[in-house]
Chain A
Amino acid sequence: MMDTARLLLEFSALTGVSGAENEAAEYAAGLLKQYGPVTVTPLGSVLCAARPAREGRPHLLLDAHIDEIGMIVTYIEDTGFLRVAPCGGIDRRLLLASRVTVHTDSGAIAGIICSTPPHLSGEEDKKNKKVEEIYIDIGYDGEAAREKVHPGDRVTINAHSRQLLGGLVSGKAIDDRAGCVALLLALGELGDTELDCGLTVQFSTMEEVGGAGAKTAAYLIKPTHAIAVDVGFGMTPDSPKEKCGELKKGPMIGFAPILSREMSAELAELCRMEEIPWQPDVMGRSTSTNADSIAVVGGGVVTGLLSIPQKYMHTPIETVAVEDVENTGKLLAAYAKSLGRGTE
Chain B
Amino acid sequence: MMDIFETMKSLCRLPGVSGWEGPVREEILSRLQGKCECRVDALGNILAFKKGKTAPKNKLLFSAHMDEVGFIITYIEDSGLLRFAGVGGIDSRVVLGKAVEVGEKGLYGVIGSKAVHLQEEKERSEPGKLDKLYIDIGAESREQALEQVQPGDRAVFCADYGSLGDKLIFGRALDDRAGCALLLEMIERELPYDCHFSFTVQEETGCTGGITAGYAVAPDIAVAVETTTASDIAGVDPDKVVCSLGKGPVVSFMDKGTVYDPQLYRLALDTARDRGIPCQTKQGVFGGNESRSLQTARGGARAMAVSVPCRYLHSPAGVVSSEDITHTGELLAALAEVLADL
Give the interface of A toward B (CB within 8 A): 77, 79-81, 89-94, 96-99, 110-112, 114-120, 126-128, 135, 137-140, 144, 157-160, 162-168, 170, 233, 236-240, 243, 288, 311-317, 319
Contacts of B109 in A (CB 8 A): 164
Known interface pairs A128-B93, A311-B136. Does A116 touch B166 (Cβ–Cβ under 8 Å)?
no
Contacts of B91 in A (CB 8 A): 96-97, 115, 118
What is the bound-complex CA distance between A98 and B137, given in angstroms? 20
* Pairwise interchain contact B118-A233, C-beta atoms closer than 8 A: yes
Known interface pairs A119-B286, A140-B165. Does A97 touch B114 (Cβ–Cβ under 8 Å)?
no
What is the bound-complex CA distance between A112 and B13, given in angstroms? 18
State which of B139, B140, B165, B312 has its C-beta within 8 Å of the C-beta of A138. Answer: B165
What is the bound-complex CA distance between A317 and B107, given in angstroms? 15
Contacts of A316 in B (CB 8 A): 97-99
Contacts of A98 in B (CB 8 A): 97-98, 316
What is the bound-complex CA distance between A126 and B164, given in angstroms? 27
Closest residue on chain A to residue B109 by CB atoms: A164
Known interface pairs A93-B124, A119-B229. Does A313 touch B115 (Cβ–Cβ under 8 Å)?
yes
In the A-B complex, the 10 residue pairs with the closest CB atoms: A139-B165, A94-B97, A164-B138, A139-B164, A312-B112, A97-B315, A165-B138, A317-B110, A97-B94, A313-B115
User: Using a CB-CB cutoff of 8 Å, which residues 303-342 of chain B contact chain A?
Assistant: 311-313, 315-317, 319
Contact mask B154-170 → A, CB, 8 Å, 1/0?
00001110111111101
* Pairwise interchain contact B118-A114, C-beta atoms closer than 8 A: no
Contacts of A240 in B (CB 8 A): 114, 118
State which of B115, B134, B319 has its C-beta within 8 Å of the C-beta of A239. Answer: B115
Contacts of A111 in B (CB 8 A): 164
What is the bound-complex CA distance between A122 and B332, given in angstroms? 35
* Pairwise interchain contact A137-B319, C-beta atoms closer than 8 A: yes
Closest residue on chain B to residue A89 by CB atoms: B116
What is the bound-complex CA distance between A216 and B256, given in angstroms? 61
The smallest C-beta distance from A300 to any residue of chain B, in angstroms, reads 27
What is the bound-complex CA distance between A243 and B116, given in angstroms? 13
Residue with the highest number of chain B CB atoms closer than 10 Å, among A112, A144, A233: A112
Segment at the interface with A among B24-32, B205-213, B231-239, B294-302: B231-239
Q: Is B81 an interface residue (CB 8 A)?
A: yes
Residue with the highest number of chain B CB atoms closer than 10 Å, among A79, A97, A243: A97
Q: Is B10 an interface residue (CB 8 A)?
A: no
Contacts of B111 in A (CB 8 A): 317
What is the bound-complex CA distance between A13 and B117, given in angstroms? 23
Known interface pairs A128-B127, A317-B98. Does A165 touch B148 (Cβ–Cβ under 8 Å)?
yes
What is the bound-complex CA distance between A135 and B236, given in angstroms? 11
Instruction: Number of B interface residues at 8 Å Cβ cutoff, please give it.
Output: 67
The smallest C-beta distance from A118 to any residue of chain B, in angstroms, reads 6
What is the bound-complex CA distance between A158 and B317, given in angstroms? 12
Q: Supply 17 further A-B pairs (C-beta < 8 A) apart from A119-B231, A135-B233, A139-B168.
A: A89-B117, A93-B123, A94-B97, A97-B94, A98-B98, A110-B170, A112-B312, A115-B91, A117-B229, A139-B165, A144-B166, A170-B99, A170-B108, A233-B118, A240-B114, A312-B110, A315-B97
Contacts of A317 in B (CB 8 A): 97-99, 110-112
Known interface pairs A164-B137, A164-B138. Does A128 touch B170 (Cβ–Cβ under 8 Å)?
no
State which of A118, A144, A237 has its C-beta within 8 Å of the C-beta of B165. Answer: A144
What is the bound-complex CA distance between A60 and B271, given in angstroms? 78
Contacts of B107 in A (CB 8 A): 165
State which of B126, B136, B287 has its C-beta within 8 Å of the C-beta of A127. Answer: B126
Contact mask B80-107 → A, CB, 8 Å, 1/0?
0100000001010110111100000001
Known interface pairs A110-B164, A127-B125. Does A319 touch B136 (Cβ–Cβ under 8 Å)?
yes
* Pairwise interchain contact A116-B236, C-beta atoms closer than 8 A: yes
Provide a sorted-by-A list of 14 A–B residue pairs whose CB atoms are within 8 angstroms.
A93-B128, A96-B91, A112-B319, A116-B231, A119-B240, A137-B164, A139-B163, A160-B99, A164-B136, A166-B140, A170-B108, A236-B112, A237-B77, A317-B111
* Pairwise interchain contact A118-B164, C-beta atoms closer than 8 A: no
Closest residue on chain B to residue A169 by CB atoms: B138
What is the bound-complex CA distance between A94 and B98, given in angstroms? 8
* Pairwise interchain contact B112-A97, C-beta atoms closer than 8 A: no
What is the bound-complex CA distance between A233 and B16, given in angstroms? 35
Contacts of A91 in B (CB 8 A): 96-97, 115-116, 124
Known interface pairs A163-B108, A237-B79, A237-B81. Does A115 touch B99 (Cβ–Cβ under 8 Å)?
no
The smallest C-beta distance from B130 to any residue of chain A, in angstroms, reads 13
Contacts of A160 in B (CB 8 A): 99, 108, 158, 160
Contact mask B238-269 → A, CB, 8 Å, 1/0?
00101000000000000000000000000000
